[in-house]
Amino acid sequence: MLQQTTVEAVIPYYRRWVKSYPDLAALDRAPLSRVLKDWQGLGYYERARNLKAAARILVAGNGGRVPDGFEELVRLPGIGPYTAAAILSLALNRPYPVLEANVRRVMARLLRLRGPLDGRADRKIASALSSLLPRRNAGQFNQALMELGALVCRPASPRCVSCPVASYCSARRRGEQDSIPPRKTKPALRVTAAVAVIRRNGKVLIQKRPDKGLLAGLWEFPGGKVEPGETLESALRREIREELGVEVRDPVFLARVKHAYTKYRVDLHAFLCRAAGALRPSPRRLWVKPAALRSYAFPAGSAKIVEKLIGSDGRSRPRAHGR
Ligand code: SF4
């Protein structure tokens, strides 16, 4: 849960998670839809999917226990060298260096590594850490280093005056702490999308995303990207025609929500509408009462639309456009 997510954001999720899934067998038994729903809001859903897949493997082949060897751990879905080292050092105090973003930054500054934090830098950092790591309390050492990076040796404006390792820091000695590591400037990809909340007989249509790729297996409202030269409404009509093979009728603006997914900044515009044509339900396409939408796992942007739909008077508006 902590990969790419702050501790503050994770705590309530973690508490609910260990209550719902006290052991690997419980996680293995739970349907994927429930696991994704419990993950909703944390983002990077591949992590939830991998946790569940790893639980399946360990319940079937390792008596429901987490292995305590590096090689066995990295064979599990979602566990790479970083996570394996974190599990072994934090849970079992084994002397493995944990190379995550905070540690990389602290070490790059301590060692004055001025290039990008790539594989070459990682090898230098790992080699320096293996001579620094205590044989005992490796977990505490790794956590201290991560905490130092999160609270003191921050990406911008490191607090060198209160840093406990300032006297060892080569970057600080040269006044280069602000330029190490070099900044990566990758602008986020901006996407404007129009989606249809199609109503029929008091229910709305939702569909499941493909099982692979971005936001795999989550539910969403049909629609898609607004192409250059299109208005929101013309994009909506085209997308629904292409995706569902029907024409949109009487679109009425419902809500605009913005959300960031990994490298995307999505600007979603939702329209209440009807569809001219039959849309039969299937395992990947459902008609659902608005009040029941909260029990499905949606990406954060679509979840905001669900709340707008339910909160924007789920009785009077739908009646006006729904039949
Ligand atoms: Fe980071 Fe400054 Fe401490 Fe060096 S002295 S490790 S740059 S906080």
Which atom of ligand 1 is the closest one to the Cα of 158? 8
Q: Which two tokens stand for residue 291?
A: 């009040």
Q: Determine the Cα–Cα distance for residues 267 and 259; give it in Å rounded to an integer.
A: 7
Averaged over 95-116, what is the pLDDT?
95
For residue 39, the one-letter residue type is: W
Averaged over 253-268, what is the pLDDT?
88
Q: How far is the CA of 146 from the centre of ligand 1 (A)?
A: 13
Pocket test for ligand 1, best of 129, 132, 145, 153 (most atoms within 8 A of CB): 153
Pocket test for ligand 1, best of 152, 168, 173, 174 (most atoms within 8 A of CB): 152
Confidence tier at 318 by pLDDT (50, 70, 90) = very low
CB of 108 within 6 A of ligand 1: the answer is no
pLDDT at 2: 84
pLDDT at 241: 94
**pLDDT (tens digit per residue) in 134-157:** 988 999 999 999 999 999 999 999
Helix (H, G, I), strand (E, B) or coil at 1: coil
Lowest mean pLDDT among 15-24, 122-131, 149-158, 309-318: 309-318
Lowest mean pLDDT among 1-10, 153-162, 202-211: 1-10
Place of tokens 């956590």: 143
> 259 - beta bridge partners?
266
Confidence tier at 211 by pLDDT (50, 70, 90) = confident
pLDDT at 59: 97
pLDDT at 166: 97
DSSP string, 163-197: -TTGGG-HHHHTT-TTTSSPPP--PPEEEEEEEEE
Q: How far is the CA of 158 from the centre of ligand 1 (A)?
A: 6
**pLDDT (tens digit per residue) in 54-64:** 999 999 999 99
User: What is the percentage of the chain residues whose pLDDT exceeds 90?
Assistant: 78
Residue 315 reports pLDDT greater than 50: no
CB of 172 within 6 A of ligand 1: the answer is yes
Which atom of ligand 1 is the closest one to the Cα of 149? 1
